[in-house]
Structure 1
Amino acid sequence: MMTLKLGVRGLHNLEINVPNAVLVGETVTLECSWQLEDEEALYSVKWYRGREEFYRYIPKELPHTRVFPLPGIEVDPVPPNYI
């Protein structure tokens, strides 16, 4: 599992947990958590495999969550998690 922590203006304590490798047919959980500065609003959270987007969460859009079909990926959409 890989944990990535970055310091970005407006965004603090960003953590992304993604396994390094997955066996075909295995279930995995992708995790992304963060904190925003005061008055900042989350714009979006997107997940990709390579260049293909398969999950999108944009709180200002309805529906907030969209799942894009991608062979080999089944998504159980869970809203993003704030720390």
Structure 2
Amino acid sequence: CLCLKLVRVGVPQYKLRGELAVLECHYELEGDSLYAVKWYKENEEFYRYVPKSNPPQSSYRVDGIKVD
């Protein structure tokens, strides 16, 4: 099967406003190619990585989120 295997997602449980938070998504492609990785806060997309797009990274305004 060509599929993506999610290995681990790392998201801090709590952060104070203004504190840095690092979000991690570890996966194995298992022979397939990556189409996209997307991050959401309360059903609103705030970050997208699509390797075949130019540019591959996009971020969107969502209250309480600052992508650096």
Paired with 2:52 and 2:66, the residues of 1 have a C-alpha distance of 24
Gaps of 5+ in 2: none
Give the TM-score taking structure 2 as reference length: 0.86
Corresponding position of 2:16: 23
Give the TM-score taking structure 1 as reference length: 0.72
The code of the aligned residue for 2:49 comes to Y
**Percent same amino acid among aligned pairs?**
45
- Give the secondary structure class of the aligned counterpart of 1:43: coil
- Give the secondary structure class of the aligned counterpart of 2:14: coil
User: Could you say which structure has the greater relative contact order, defined with CA pairs below 8 angstroms and 6 or more residues apart?
Assistant: 2
- Count of matched residue positions in the alignment of Structure 1 and Structure 2: 67
- Give the secondary structure class of the aligned counterpart of 2:7: strand
How big is the alpha-carbon RMSD for the aligned residues of Structure 1 and Structure 2? 1.4
Corresponding position of 2:57: 65
Gaps of 5+ in 1: 1-8, 77-83
Corresponding position of 2:42: 50
1:35, CA displacement in angstroms? 1.0
